[in-house]
Amino acid sequence: MTAFHHSFDRTVLREYDIRGIVGTTLQPEDAFAIGRCFGSLVHRAGGTKVAVGYDGRLSSPDLEPQLVAGLRACGLEVIRIGLVATPMLYFAAYHVSADGAVMVTGSHNPPDYNGFKMMLGKKPFYGQQIQEIGRMAREGDVVPVSTEGHDRQLDVMEAYVARLLQDYDGGDRQLKVVWDPGNGSGCNVTRVLAAKLPGEHYVINGDVDGTFPNHHPDPTVAKNLEQLIAEVKREGADLGIAFDGDADRIGVVDNEGHILFGDQLLVVLARDVLKAKPGGTVIADVKASQVLFDEIAKAGGTPLMWKTGHSLIKAKMAETGSPLAGEMSGHIFFADKWYGFDDAPYSAVRLLGIVARMPQTLSEVRAALPQVINTPELRFDCPEERKFEVVQEVKQRLAAAGAKVQDVDGVRVLTPDGWWLLRASNTQAVLVARCEATSEAGLERLKGMLVEQLVASGLAAPDFSGENAGH
């Protein structure tokens, strides 16, 4: 076998996954290199079997065979589960007892992006492990294999949907539900699942289309939910459910067409889980509302604020034995009855069960939550080499001023008005900020504090244009 050496574009090896622009920063030969290096890690760990899936992007059918060839070159058996939602690949890893799993997906990025999410064993593969792939490729540090592996096709749809339905606990109540998988790779499972659940189900944008003709597949952006909101109102539905491009993130709209943000959704789910798991640790990322942490405690749980990032949250769940976790971005992780990975169809099934058993509507539950006013997530450019330095400078100035700061991930500053957050993105050359207060005047004061700190570090103020999100 010829010697193997490969260099990736410096921008594609991210904190949580590998991702780039197809034909510009990401090429088919990158897919082979990922298979060759990741497969070597599986082989060295004593593994023999890797599951592979891909999303509905136009470039995915070109990248997947190259990835498979790289894995086979390591002498591995590759279980190819085809065009699926990312959580179906995670499920397949358990279902076939795989030693690793790789998903070809660009998640919620624009159509010209694609990338790879990985599991080694049953654990997330991220951070330094991803950087190690880069080193191995550069140095040709891969296993020499005399016998090439093989691959086989496996359809896990029936097994996955049957397992989802096993945890539906809403009885026979006939809910009316609108689903929007956003022309992403969750379309097929959405249609199959909706047909088997009790009630009336309407699926919009239900055909896989890698050009995303109807809207961008990111349910955290309000304009991407406008179609779903209109359909919920038109049908008089009990709720609407949206998925991102690979269906590992969920968006929810109540019966009045109001968006339930990630932290509000987690309140609804946590109250239910904590009935069976009193005292359980429920984890949320630093961008979540204080309301969430307070409501978890009220429901008899142990709230834990943790770093943003699906891989980091999964690792913390395993460490703490947490039954449930979530992020503002719509990643919801159930370890209660499930496997602890982020799975939007599973989260939807659990939510539907809760709504079916509730005496009140979802909008009434949402309206009863303490009302706060917050900015959306603010992202603004900051040079890669400066972003962590800026956060450190802010932290030091706040410490000198005696401010009350939580520094789990960046700085979250607590004041009588509420809180503001500044953190460095792990995946882009940006800083991320958010402010939350109990009044408009308080929110303005928090914004002022944030701007003051940014200016002190030589940065321009973020753009606060656009309405504040009240929840």
What is d(CA 163, CA 159) in angstroms, rounded to the nearest whole number? 6
Task: Establish whether 439 is a catalytic residue.
Answer: no
Please give the structure tokens belonging to residue 77. 């058996």
What is d(CA 382, CA 431) in angstroms, rounded to the nearest whole number? 6
3-state helix, strand, coil in the chain (%, to 5): 35, 25, 40
Of the candidates 107, 311, 329, 347, the residue annotated as catalytic is: 107
- Of residues 228, 234, 272, the one with CA closest to residue 250: 228
Within a 10 A sphere around the Cβ of 374, how many other Cβ atoms? Answer: 24
Own/partner long-range contacts of 393-397 (Cβ < 8 Å, ≥24 apart): 393/456, 393/457, 394/422, 394/453, 394/454, 394/456, 394/457, 397/453, 397/456
- CA distances for 468 relative to 155, 371, 416, 447, angstroms: 45, 13, 19, 12
Name, in order, each residue with C-beta under 8 angstroms of 10's C-beta and a sequence gap of 6 or more.
Answer: none
What angle in degrees, to the nearest 10, is found between the helix axes of 157-166 and 86-95?
Answer: 90
φ/ψ of residue 155, rounded to 5: -95, 115
Q: Annotated catalytic sites, by residue?
A: 107
